[in-house]
Structure 1
Amino acid sequence: MEDSTSILNAQIQFIDVQLSLVHIPIELYSQCIHPILRLLLPESGNAQDLPFLNISINPVEASVVLPKELANSLFRPLLSSLNTEGKDASVTIAPDDYILMFVSGSGSSPSQRVIDLTTPLALAGISIFFITTYFSDYIICPRRSQAAVIAALKSQGFELSEHDWGRINQHSSQAYVNRPNTASSDSSGSQFLAPGTPPPSTLSELQVRTFNTLHKRNVVPSVNKETRLVQCAGKDDKRQEHALLLAIIKTLLCTPNFFSLTLSEGESPSLLLETRSLPLFELPSSANTNGRTSPGRAQYDQSLLMGTTSDTLIPIILDLRTLPLESTGIVCGIAGRLVDATKTDITGPVEMAYLSTTKAGAVMVMEDDLERAVQVLEMGAGPQ
């Protein structure tokens, strides 16, 4: 069993792109499918040329993280037509501009990686969104918080060269921050905070405040055991790009219960897919095992994806629509409590991945860990 206190040796790259966050209530998803598809089928160029794009669907919402200019051109015109007076649900574009941090590295469990990355930022009271993908992790935060992000990383032991510091302040394309192989999340923490609340000093304090606030806002975990996911990626094969894109579009048109697509420069498309959607990503072959054609019977023996044989995940959905968008410490508080409350179990701590959307959070765990993970999230069990 891997030591739960192992620390990520991470490299964090700041990407020079202004992002917007679009919230689409799930009941309005069908009316917003056209601009979503236009993101994947631009009038010129290729969707994979975008610096970053995340399209996620869950029972609460469809959420899109995209370059600001595309949000303004594709989604802003919809606001007046869809958001009529008297409607409870409305499409919104977050007022802030956001920046993107790309995290690469290894050396810790997925759960511990979430804690290590989010702790210093939550400690500083910085609101973030966290996206786990097949290849990497991404952290999204308001651009106005950029200086505070850098200061928080440096104060918690991340090293930033003076040369790179200057480049970040000039909003250049990228900068790198290295995480040392020392320190532990047990000795530092962060907090779920309403805006203006002083940040906590310990991880335990964070967890207590987080779950107190979740309980007060009636945020309870929601699970549909029939929603079974795999975290995977498109194969890096130029010959199959169009087939992969077609499969993604078919999935979106089927209105999945859960879906997430992340496109980032330099990486193959990363996906969270329901297992029932996997057949859409198989290429038919007309040849049988003897190399002869089989008239009238297509065999599906070539996948467009890699990673589909990995463990099946069950998402635990937290509906955060009652919370301010700029609330902080949610990701770290949830991950920290899950690990702390289960680390003494005979099977070890719960392993999890996390996906932030604009107004929901998804904790993804293996089926064998589902029962104890839900119990922790329902009761906030663990050290006080």
Structure 2
Amino acid sequence: MLNSHEIQLYKTKISILTIPRENFWIFKSGVLQILYKLIYKMEGNTSDDDDDDDDKDASTVASVTSSSSSGSSSVEDIEVDDDGLFFQLAFTPEEVTLMCSTKLIKKYLSNPLKISNDPNNLIGSQLLDDEFLVLQMLNDGSNIGKKILELTEPLSMNDISIFFISNYFSDIVLIPSKQKQKAFHILEQEQLNATSSKKNELEERTFRLFKSSEVKPELNRSIKLLLTGARSGDSVEVLKKTAESLTKLCTEETKMKTKSNNFPSYFAITRTPTEEIGLVLPSSEREQKKLNYSKSSILGSSQDFYYPLFINLKNLPIDLKGIVAGVASKLLRAGLNEMSYLSLGKSDMSVRKMTTSIIKTSNKITTTTMPKYFDVGLNLTDEMFKGHYRNNKHHEEDIESVLKKAKFFNVSKVMLTGSSLKESEEAIRLANTYTDPIIYPKVSCTVGIHPCTVLEFEKNDNQPLNHLNDLRQLILKDDTGVIKAFGEIGLDYDRLYHTPIDKQQEYFKLQLELACEFDLPLFLHMRNACDDFITILKPFLSNSDNSSKHLKCKRLLVHSFSGTLEELNSILKLEDEFPNIEIFISVNGCSLKTEENCKVASQIPISKLMIETDSPWCEVRKTHHSYQYITQCPNEFYPFEYIDFDTLNQPVKKGAAKTSNEFLPVRQMKSTNLDKVQLIQGELDPLIKSRNEPCLIGFVAEIMSKLKGVEPQVLITTCYENSNRLFG
């Protein structure tokens, strides 16, 4: 593994200093001195007497490091002399991290460090006790995520504290100098095979720590960063411009607690002895102008941007072992093999995840808030998501793909509906399977038996109470809390060919009696049966002592509402009769078919409204009256640039079937073609024609926003808050 053509170990010892950004002004002068020393050396100037002393000390460090080696030929093969001027400076809105030689930090930052070491100071900076050695791995720009994991996982699993930097030209691991021999022994023994698609121990350990400490990684698509570098021959110029910009940054204005807007919120510059300057820059031209770099001096494309994945580690130890590798493992399993790591410190940790999608957030949308959706009705247990259509197998199961697309299009939460005992069991299993908060929406579920399938109560040796007890046991055994509602139960008089009225009513009552045993909201189904629905429901809503059964939870959702205005008002008036209850109404494509449907939907109070897809059913079709309200992205509901895949890098063939979705930057195709499609690198998996998915919930939001005359973000936020209030 230790190949001198790919890996180099520099002998100079490095220290790491973290500074709250608001207090950087205290350290700025010393940092600039280090930076100008670097410029002076890179310009080829001869060192003065003072600098000669530095070089001698650096040589001494190198000599000591070499002589203390145990004679491992592998280490000696990759160990190289350096000029002692490794330099990395990184800014986030909260923190500044400086990494450079211990000698330089102690020489130029001695005074502010003395203040920092005073127990009474409030600066909040920290110089790590350990010194580090720089292990540099040259890269070709591919499989960066895999290399992060390969370099850091073996060390982290052996309790070696490390720091990781992804530079434009290389990947850098900082290893504690006192653990050099142990680290190289570990790396020499490791056989770095292809990363497993399964969870590894480090990943599980990392996310257990996150969970116990209530740390939640958050992807922010409103911020875009570029991983780039200075062109050959322009490094000195870039360093000078950086120094000039730092000179203007946070002088007494920060001390007086006024905001400084003359330096980017996110920035990193890295210099190694063998490379040009590496940079992390904001993608915004306005932000880049603050640095005054010449465009001709900078490499890379402004389109290859990164989204930041924030992990707030303020309350965790600064020497966490394996955080980078643990997070990288999870991202790799999500198919994201290009990522960059910017900085780690007491104030903040930022892992940079490069978008592997060719879909870009649109700069045409002025809203600063990304939409956040809760799909409260998703039939993920349906056979279509397993590739079966009318008993014919068309493609492999794509449940994971469906959830990933939903997450990409800002669906934060989904609730899977239980329509039978078997499907309720499956919904629980799925909710406990797809739990990665970075990759998937948060998945919860309901438990209950749909009115169209209640005859299954009579198939269990014709013992309905035994079947009911099986349902009870599902809820009692839910030790992970994924069951958020009791349902889908109710009445459906539109489909009596499935179940006659008397049986629907009998088992609606029976399930309501079971619901009284648990503190769960109701997830209700009502089609063309409003009077009987209300008559059966009322006794369970009462607090009267004469009522034998009372619902512990008096909150309920009537989902997929497609009734009349009179029926809507009758349901909502139950709150007047029973002031202790709270009723919500959800809509989907089936709620918005006709002009009359749309008029009724517009009358649902926004304080009572939720949205859903009821996937794979209830899509908004071209024949629906509501279809006219959907617009092509970018818009507030889908702030992404549109891609026409039919014209992307290829001429349109005459008579060829259109494969691009009309509104979203994703392809769609027949179910029989899904396993045959060849995707462009970074492309999302296609949609299936006539199969609804949770990622399409934005269509319902857009329609309801226009029907009600409510601003998009108000509609989206209110529906999300309503859903959280009921289901959490």
TM-score (norm 1): 0.71
Aligned pair 1:24/2:19, yes or no? yes
Output the CA distance in 2 between the equivalents of 1:118 and 1:25: 26
Q: Which amino acid aligns with 1:96?
A: D
Q: Which amino acid aligns with 1:358?
A: G
Indicate conservation of the 8 Å contact 1:39/1:47, yes or no.
no
Q: CA deviation at 1:141?
A: 1.6
Q: Residue in 1 aligned with 2:98? A: 64
Matched residue of 2:109: which SS? helix
Alignment map for 1:201-240 (pairs within 5 Å): 204-237=200-233, 240=234
Indicate conservation of the 8 Å contact 2:308/2:350, yes or no.
yes
Q: Structure 1 residues 83 and 305 mapped into 2: Cα distance closer, same or farther (>3 Å)?
A: same
Q: Residue in 1 aligned with 2:437? A: 379
Aligned pair 1:313/2:306, yes or no? yes
Indicate conservation of the 8 Å contact 1:83/1:90, yes or no.
no
Q: CA deviation at 1:334?
A: 0.3
Residues 125-168 of structure 1: CA deviation (Å, up to 9, x unaligned): 211111001100000021111111111111213xxxxxxxxxxx
Q: Structure 1 residues 85 and 212 mapped into 2: Cα distance closer, same or farther (>3 Å)?
A: same
Output the CA distance in 1 between the equivalents of 2:302 and 2:114: 44
Name stretches of at least 5 consecutive residues in structure 2 with no aligned partner. Answer: 44-82, 250-261, 362-406, 413-433, 441-728
Output the CA distance in 1 between the equivalents of 2:267 and 2:141: 28
Output the CA distance in 2 between the equivalents of 1:212 and 1:373: 27
Alignment map for 1:90-169 (pairs within 5 Å): 90-106=124-140, 108-157=142-191
How many equivalent pairs are there? Answer: 311
Indicate conservation of the 8 Å contact 2:38/2:85, yes or no.
no
Which stretch of structure 1 is more off in the superposition, 263-272 or 360-369? Answer: 360-369
Q: Residue in 1 aligned with 2:239? A: 245
Output the CA distance in 2 between the equivalents of 1:211 and 1:281: 40
Indicate conservation of the 8 Å contact 2:235/2:276, yes or no.
no
Output the CA distance in 2 between the equivalents of 1:71 and 1:373: 45
Output the CA distance in 1 between the equivalents of 2:38 and 2:278: 23
Indicate conservation of the 8 Å contact 1:227/1:258, yes or no.
no
Q: Which amino acid aligns with 2:344?
A: T
Q: CA deviation at 1:332?
A: 0.8
Indicate conservation of the 8 Å contact 1:338/1:350, yes or no.
yes
Give the strand-richer structure, 1 or 2.
1
Output the CA distance in 2 between the equivalents of 1:331 and 1:18: 22
Q: Structure 1 residues 43 and 257 mapped into 2: Cα distance closer, same or farther (>3 Å)?
A: closer
Q: Residue in 1 aligned with 2:194? A: 184
Higher relative CO (Cα under 8 Å, sequence separation at least 6) belongs to: 1
Of 47, 70, 89, the match for 1:55: 89
RMSD: 3.2
Output the CA distance in 1 between the equivalents of 2:180 and 2:93: 32
Q: Structure 1 residues 98 and 241 mapped into 2: Cα distance closer, same or farther (>3 Å)?
A: closer
Name stretches of at least 5 consecutive residues in structure 1 with no aligned partner. Answer: 1-7, 158-181, 188-201, 284-301, 344-348
Q: Residue in 1 aligned with 2:344? A: 357
Aligned pair 1:273/2:281, yes or no? yes
Aligned pair 1:40/2:67, yes or no? no
Q: Structure 1 residues 255 and 30 mapped into 2: Cα distance closer, same or farther (>3 Å)?
A: farther
Q: CA deviation at 1:45?
A: 3.5
Output the CA distance in 2 between the equivalents of 1:337 and 1:45: 43
Residues 159-185 of structure 1: CA deviation (Å, up to 9, x unaligned): xxxxxxxxxxxxxxxxxxxxxxx6233
Indicate conservation of the 8 Å contact 1:185/1:203, yes or no.
no
Q: Residue in 2 aligned with 1:198? A: none
Q: Which amino acid aligns with 1:63?
A: T
Indicate conservation of the 8 Å contact 2:87/2:270, yes or no.
yes
Q: CA deviation at 1:68?
A: 0.5
Matched residue of 2:12: which SS? strand
Which stretch of structure 1 is more off in the superposition, 361-370 or 48-57? Answer: 361-370
Q: CA deviation at 1:361?
A: 2.9
Matched residue of 2:6: which SS? strand
Q: Structure 1 residues 84 and 153 mapped into 2: Cα distance closer, same or farther (>3 Å)?
A: closer
Aligned pair 1:337/2:337, yes or no? no
TM-score (norm 2): 0.39
Residues 222-270 of structure 1: CA deviation (Å, up to 9, x unaligned): 4554432111111222xx5553223212443333211111011121111
Indicate conservation of the 8 Å contact 2:17/2:128, yes or no.
yes
Matched residue of 1:262: which SS? strand
Q: Structure 1 residues 10 and 131 mapped into 2: Cα distance closer, same or farther (>3 Å)?
A: farther
Output the CA distance in 2 between the equivalents of 1:308 and 1:66: 29
Residues 43-79 of structure 1: CA deviation (Å, up to 9, x unaligned): 9932686431100111231000110011111223203
Aligned pair 1:259/2:259, yes or no? no
Of 76, 80, 83, the match for 2:110: 76
Q: Structure 1 residues 83 and 127 mapped into 2: Cα distance closer, same or farther (>3 Å)?
A: closer
Indicate conservation of the 8 Å contact 1:60/1:319, yes or no.
no
Indicate conservation of the 8 Å contact 2:225/2:305, yes or no.
yes
Which stretch of structure 1 is more off in the superposition, 266-275 or 306-315? Answer: 306-315
Output the CA distance in 2 between the equivalents of 1:259 and 1:141: 23
Output the CA distance in 2 between the equivalents of 1:43 and 1:185: 38
Indicate conservation of the 8 Å contact 1:20/1:65, yes or no.
yes
Q: Structure 1 residues 155 and 209 mapped into 2: Cα distance closer, same or farther (>3 Å)?
A: same
Matched residue of 1:306: which SS? coil
Q: CA deviation at 1:272?
A: 0.3
Output the CA distance in 2 between the equivalents of 1:120 and 1:144: 17
Q: Which amino acid aligns with 1:57?
A: F
